[in-house]
Structures are given as C-alpha cells and as structure tokens.
Chain A
Amino acid sequence: MLARELKSNDMLIYRLKRSRNKTVEALYSLFRYVLIIGISFVIVYPILMKISVSLKDKMDIYNPTIYLIPAHVTMENLRLAFKIMDYVPLLGNTILFTVTIMLLQALSCALAGYGFARFQFPGSNVLFLLVVLTILIPMNTLMVPMYLHFRSFDIMGLVHLFTGKDGVNLLNTYWPSMITAATANGLKSGLYIYIFRQFFRGLPKEIEESATIDGAGGLMTFYRIMLPNALSPLLTVMLFAFVWTYNDTFYTSLFMSESQLMSLTVAALPAEINQHLPALIGVGANPNVKADPNHVAMVVDTGILLAIAPLIIMYLFVQRYFVESVERTGVVG
C-alpha cells in the first residue's frame, strides 16, 4: 500500500479508538455520579424529611399529596419543641459538658499515648495490650459494678477512713464522666490512646534529643515540643470525642439520668411531648383528651432536628479536617 493510505488507515483506527475510549469514560463518569448521588440521597433523606416535617402545619399531615414540601409553612412545631425541651439552657449545658469531657479525654489520652510510644519501662507492652483490651470489652459487662461503684465512691477506703461514711454518692452529678475522662478510661478512650501512640511513634527521635540538650525535662518536652506537633491526632481525637460524647446515651443514662443533657432529653422526648402537648395547644383542661399521635410524631421529629442541628452546623465547618486528619495521624501506613 501507499504510505499515504497507510497513514489514513492508522488515523482512522486511532480516531475510532479514541472515541471509544471517550465514550467509555463518559459512561463510567455517569455511572459514578449516579451511584454517588443515589447513596448521598439515602444518607441525606432523613434530614430533609425532618426539616420538612418541622415546617409543616398540622393540617398537612393528613394530606397524602404532600411529600417533602409543605403547603402551609409554620414555625409552630419549632416553637413547641423549643419550649418542651427548654432548648437554650439545654444546649448550653450539653455543650459545656461535652467540651469539658473532650478536653479532659484528649489531654489524658495524649499523655498516655506519649508514654506508651516513647518510653520503655518494664511491662509497657503488656499494659498496652490491656489498653487494646479496653477497646474490645463492651461497656455493659462493667455496667453494674460501675453503677454500684459510683453510688458509693470511695478511693481505697480513704473516705471511710476520714468520715466513717460509706462513700460519696456520685450518681446524677457530672463527676463519674469527668473522672473516667480524666483518667483516660472514658468512652472509647482506648481508641484515642491507640491513635496517639501510633502518631507519636512516627515522630523522629531527634526532636526529643534536641529538647533534652536544650535542658527541657520530660513534661516540658511534651508540652512545648510534642503537643504542638501533634495537632493532627489532637484534632481527630477532639472531633470524635465531641461527637461521641454529645450523642452518648449509655454513660448519660447510667450515671446522670436526671441531668439536663441533650441525648437524655431526646430519648425521653416522645413521652414528654405526649404529656405536655395538650396543655400547650390549649386543650389540656380535659384529662381525657390525648394528643394526636401524628402530631406528637411531628413535634418529636422537630425536637430531634433541633438536637442534631448543632452537630450538623459544626460538621459543616470541620468536615475538611475529619478526612484529612485521619490520614495524617499515621494510623494508616
């Protein structure tokens, strides 16, 4: 064949192959988008539903044509939920509690993680294995003894020695959670210690040695050199600790069942609303009148939305750090 024909033949084949590749890529891209949008919808749908329910007017519940967008928008549900939950003090209290626990846990777990990572002392491996054990053993095996323990809290018999009483009743105060957090034995603390240890192991030894040369003692080294470098695991641990403490029902219902905390209020919400709704909408005088269950369900959903809203808002600001921080802590590779 002539060289010119050869060339145009090849050109054709090349163009065909290129367009086939391009369509395959476009199809794949489409497929990927469909999948991602589908899964995202499954995740976001409950939240959208709750937002729409919270803005719905009572008469829209029984209208089957309304799905997501309410016909009559009203703030009544929000107002009711606010009142029944006593929202603003509740939120303030919960955030104060959660932030305290988060800071205590981050600090104590950082200390423990650093100790396990950088120092050899007899039994350090065995003790770390015990840390892993605390991650594996579920909390409810310890539930009963801890309850009794905090009911008459007495460290090594000191209280009994000094006052002759049986111990201090720490239930329904914030002390149990604070003590467990401060001693790195709180909710999922084993995980945090693991994260910190992995990270500190990855730091070069030269940093510590230069600190020692400059005359820093152990604690100084930790405070001025190690901690500022450990921003990544600190952030990860603080984020996880905040979210898990905010949402926790296990510890709160066990030790602090009468305190004013978000997770407890939400758990008790349906009963509360059922009880208070007739009074609030003006028909409370007649004891035979019960609230309409659908209406109750609507207000419950609004309450749940109010409870998770702070989390979502916070998440919007810090979501970037969640994904980035885990890969930088060195837990992986």
Chain B
Amino acid sequence: MKPMRLTLTRRKSLLGFAFIFPWLFGFVFLFLAPLVQSVKFSFHKLVISPGGYSLEYLGLQNFREALFVDATFNRVLTDSVVNMVVDAPLILFFSLFSAVLLNQSFRGRTAARAIFFLPVILASGAVSAAEAAGLISMVGDVNAAQEMSGVTSTYNFMALQKLLIESGLPPAFSEYIFEAIGRIYEIITGSGVQILIFLAALQSVPKSMYEVAKIEGATPYEAFWKITFPMVSPLILTNIIYTIIDSFTGSEVTRTIYNTAFQTQNFGLSAAMAWLYTLTVSLILVLIGVLVSKRVFYYN
C-alpha cells in the first residue's frame, strides 16, 4: 500500500490546523461545553451535592422567576441598558474629540496622552469595590452608598450635594446637574481604549488629503466633517461595539448574577438571568451594528 503523499496545500492546511489547535481545544472544552451546559442549567434547578450536582427539570420557570418574580432583576437590567444607551454616544463623542485634540502638536502632548490613557490602567473592579465598601462604613447603609458610589467614585460629593440642595434650587434641577456631573467622571474613565483606537485611526489618514483640502480652500471645520469623520467611521463601529461590551464587566447585572449564584446558591436562576442579559445585549449589538454599518464609509 502506497503511503498517501501529502500535497503542499494539504500539508499547509494541516500545519495551520496545528497552530490553532491549542485554541480549538480550549474553545471546545472551556467555552463551548460550558455554554451548552449553561443553557441546560437555565432550564433546571441545580443542587450541589458532595459528589457533583443534581438537576431537576423546571422548564421556563427560571426565566419566569427572573423576569416577573425576582425583586431586583428587572430594574437592574433596565438600569443597565439605559446607562449603556446614554453613556455610549457620550463616550464616543468624547473619545473622538479627545483623539482629535491629542493628535495636534502642542507642548506636553506625550504627557497628556499618558494621562488620558491612565484610567484604563487603574480600572479595577477591586478598587471600586473597596471604595464602595469604605463608603458603606462611613455612611452606614449599603443602598445609600451604592447610589452614591454610582455617582461619586472618590469625589467628596456629599458636600457638593448638600451645597446644591441648600442653595434653594428645585431638587429635580440639582439632581439633574448631579447626574450630569457624575457621568462626566464615568465617561472620562470609560474612554481610555477608545481614545487610543481613534488616535491610531487619525494618524492613519493620509496627510495629502488635508493638504489638498487646504489648497482648495476648505476651513478646518469642513475638513473635519468631509475628511476626518468619514475616514475614521469604520472605527466608530468598532468603538461602539467595544464600549457596549466593556459596560458588561462593571455593570450591576453582573454583580446580581454573581450574587444569585454564590450567595443564594440558586444556580439555575443565575444562569437564566445571565442568558436574558446576554440576549438583550446581543439584540442591542445587532441592532446598532446593522444601523451603523450602513452609514460607514470604507476607503478601500
């Protein structure tokens, strides 16, 4: 029997397969299998016993419980989605604006770039958890501290709040100002990676375009909208997707899911919640992806 000669193409594809094999192995066992299991769990009630776990089929009850029975899930989910929808355009505008600003040459530009990117380095869930906890022992109440930590993150907002309230402004007004100011910090710290991506995009726009525009008599304003904006529009899509996904990791729904799983030991419910959340966000992503990519301009 003649041994099968491997053609060059066959050999190359085997080689390619070998290169991605570690990933494939991990993917099947550490991603796909847990994914399928997670779907299975969301339809069951899970009880952990010393030798493993036992399942009890519940049908759609977990989902129904998450949506209609559980006290906080609905509110937390809507809060999260509203926050994401409000923050994402703001983050996008701010990071494009900062990238344009940081692209111009002025003294201290490297330092400014370093500072703007600093929040990415320091974005630690542990740090914000510790700060919130420190605030709890000072304020004495978990809910109040959580409300405040959503707005403050280390600013001494209590004093500012008191000042605003006592100044005689109608409370709705001062609360609105408060929300806006609180968001400033969230937006600035949430834009680090986006600024980086936009900066790289801005630097890849060929300078000759600007020169031509200047010769033809375009003002900088026109040059921005006619040249810069279309050229970076593919990355607007990338950044939107990144922002939405990033808002996952720190959001309150994540914490709720974690607590449901490990503090109340209701694994089935936690899996159901997680899937509801994933579905919601995937829907939003697909919607936004379709809407935005229609209007994106690709240079090549």
Residues of chain A touching chain B, judged by Cβ–Cβ distance below 8 Å, are: 29, 32-33, 35-36, 39-40, 42-47, 49-50, 108-109, 111-112, 114-116, 118-122, 124, 127, 130-131, 134-149, 152, 155, 166, 179-180, 182-185, 193, 218, 222, 243, 246-250, 262-264, 266-267, 269-271, 274, 293-294, 296-297, 300-301, 303-304, 307-308, 311-312, 315-316, 319-320, 322-323, 326-327, 331-333
Contacts and interface: CB of A to CB of B under 8 A. Distances in A.
B126 A249 contact: yes
B218 interface: no
Contacts of A264: 126
B30 A185 contact: yes
B67 interface: no
A332 B30 contact: no
A130 B27 CA distance: 9
Contacts of A49: 154
Contacts of A32: 101, 104, 106
Contacts of A250: 125, 249
A144 B271 contact: yes
A184 B293 CA distance: 29
A319 to B, nearest CB: 4
Given A296-B137, A332-B197, A193 B23 contact: yes
B188 interface: yes
Nearest to A44: B115
B23 A263 contact: no
B86 interface: no
B6 interface: no
Interface stretch (B70-78, B162-170, B272-280): B272-280
Contacts, number: 274
B224 to A, nearest CB: 14
B117 interface: yes
B182 to A, nearest CB: 12
A141 B31 contact: no
Contacts of A121: 13-14, 16-17
A323 B179 CA distance: 32
Given A112-B19, A115-B17, A42 B196 contact: no
Given A44-B118, A304-B131, A308-B121, 10 more contacts: A33-B106, A36-B112, A39-B116, A39-B188, A115-B20, A143-B257, A146-B30, A147-B261, A249-B129, A326-B196
Interface in B150-167: 153-155
B138 A218 contact: no
Nearest to B279: A141
Contacts of B14: 121
